[in-house]
A and B are shown apart, each in its own frame.
Chain A
Amino acid sequence: MRFGVTGMVLRVILIFVFLLFWEAVVRLFGIPAFILPPPSNVLLALYRGFASALYVGHIGVTLAETFMGFALGSVLAFSLGVAVALSRRVEYYLYPFIVMFQAMPKVALAPLVIIWFGLGITSKVVAAALVAFFPLMVNTIAGLRSADEDRVNLMRSLAASRWQIFWMLQLPNAMPYIFAGLEIAMIFALIGAIVGEFVGATSGLGMLIQSMNFTMDVAGQFSILLILSALGLLLNGLVVTLRRRVLFWDQSEKADAAEQAVAEKGGVS
């Protein structure tokens, strides 16, 4: 925004220059397509994939897995986060599990998940949920605990019940943290679904990448990577749009602070 219209134009030009450079290098040095395809081949693969309707079905599968995994992981993460934040006892007993699970790279569970839940969509939903779970749980806990002492005292001075303090103060107060967690959970769910498909699946974009790898269709793989990053942007955009609506009152510093909390605590996926 700061760089104005000329900045915008320069940006676009830069992208074109990069693509031209790429194309030129591949052609000039005669790099084989199974190592690095020129961008024109990638675009062609993208076009063919959509024209033959091959990609659409796989995109649908991956999206479905991502959304269901996100929903499942979020519901569980939120519920557990609330329980931990509100009850010292629950926190005390669950703490060892949380620490162990937090330190473990969740994607490493994917092979086990495939064994337990099969090659169908269920295993990918579970994998996505597993990966999405942690950032949201950590943020839910941090958010619910972040209620300002003065505000808690105000509620208490009104003889508010613990339940009322939760609904009227802690939960709305935690929303910036929760949304920051949801943003990350959404992207993590996509990662979980793709990794699950890598390990074992009959459909989905991850499975498509795997099979293209076997046939050395590198241009095809690049075209799927493009689709995946577009999906990532789209999914992130959905959560951000929702956040802007719900958190109209938030002066953004809070969300940033929460994002930092995630970076510090929920990093390992």
Chain B
Amino acid sequence: MPQRSCAIGEGLAILQAGLRTVAPAEISTAARDVINVKRLSKQYGGGAEPILALKDIDFAIPEGEFLSIVGPSGCGKSTLLKILAGLMPASGGEALLNGTPIGGPRRDIGVVFQSPVLFPWRSVLNNVLLPADVQRLGRTVMEKRAYDLLRLVHLNGFERRYPWELSGGMQQRVALVRALIHDPALLLMDEPFGALDAMTREQMNVELQRLWMERKKTVVFITHSTAEAVFLGDRVMVMTPRPGQVGDIFRVDLPRPRGLEVMNTEKFGGYVRRIREVLNAGGGLE
């Protein structure tokens, strides 16, 4: 896959590598949406008592946007993410990626799960290089990239270590770097920092924002925390309890880069309050 090799350079050059053109032929606004979800529904189990996890979900994500999704436990957030990742089919409606229906896993998507999901038999470096190995990208070029990305999340010096030698937060950063290594246009994250303590979590939020601003990916970020959703998101989508539906979508007009102190501002508090109201109206618990 030599076309990826051009993206690698010194310092900032790797950060610009994230820019990528999407659906060049069409010019209409719809075509610029990386993700377009229309009346999407998902039902589990066809037997006597099928579970309707998602019902008539509608939303679109323009290129380069950071979309946060919050919702009560069990409302179908992970289900939605798995459908977007091509890991399971929808039961109704459609989900489009760059204008084409998602038919299965795609090479240009990076996924970060709730747990780091590292392979203990691979070193940190080799864990990061897993997507490169699977997709047979040039090892030497990718290795250089891995070193650069690991430095970006302050993990330089840990390349030869093994997962069990790292703390939970460090492991999650490795998982983040792994999701970025093959330079995917779309990043799907399912409560990636849910297992971390509050302080590490805030730190990770700042780092994620920095990475995203430098690399300009389209991001879907699922979380339980309204504060995290507002802090990171360009928009926040609130889902209702099962069957999961779109409760409301808020646009967050806070200048970037956002520092942690933005969480103490009146405006930030206002967003959090309004999102909580929608969540509570749906009977969800935060």
Contact = CB atoms under 8 A, between A and B. Distances in A.
B119 A151 contact: yes
B85 to A, nearest CB: 5
A151 B116 CA distance: 10
29 contacts: A148-B117, A150-B113, A150-B115, A151-B117, A153-B82, A153-B87, A154-B111, A154-B113, A154-B130, A155-B134, A156-B87, A157-B105, A157-B111, A158-B105, A158-B107, A158-B135, A158-B182, A159-B106, A159-B134, A160-B105, A160-B134, A164-B134, A172-B119, A172-B121, A175-B121, A249-B121, A249-B164, A250-B120, A251-B164
Given A150-B113, A249-B164, A168 B134 contact: yes
Interface residues of B, number: 24
Contacts of A82: none
Given A158-B107, A250-B120, 6 more contacts: A150-B113, A157-B85, A158-B135, A158-B182, A172-B119, A249-B121
A169 interface: yes
A13 B79 CA distance: 65
Nearest to A160: B134
A157 B87 CA distance: 6
Interface in A166-186: 168-169, 172, 175
A157 B133 CA distance: 14
Interface in B98-151: 104-107, 109, 111, 113, 115, 117, 119-121, 130-131, 133-135
Interface residues of A, number: 19
A238 B117 CA distance: 32
Contacts of B130: 154, 158, 168
Q: Which of B86, B87, B117 has the most CB of A within 10 A?
A: B117
B162 interface: yes
Interface in A70-110: none
Interface string A16-34: 0000000000000000000
Given A158-B107, A159-B106, A153 B113 contact: yes
Contacts of A249: 120-121, 162, 164
B107 A169 contact: no
A169 B113 CA distance: 17
A158 B180 CA distance: 12
A15 B162 CA distance: 43
Nearest to A157: B111
B184 to A, nearest CB: 10
A202 to B, nearest CB: 46
B117 A150 contact: yes
Contacts of B131: 158
Contacts of A175: 121
Contacts of B121: 172, 175, 249
B87, B104, B120, B164, most chain A CB atoms within 10 A: B120
A169 B105 contact: no
Interface string B148-183: 000000000000001010000000000000000010
B146 to A, nearest CB: 15
A1 B87 CA distance: 49
Contacts of B120: 249-251
Contact of B86 (A148, A157, A168, A250): A157
A157 B82 CA distance: 9
A164 B130 CA distance: 11
A34 to B, nearest CB: 56
A159 to B, nearest CB: 4
A153 B84 CA distance: 13
Contact of B117 (A154, A159, A168, A172): A154
Contacts of A250: 120
B139 to A, nearest CB: 14
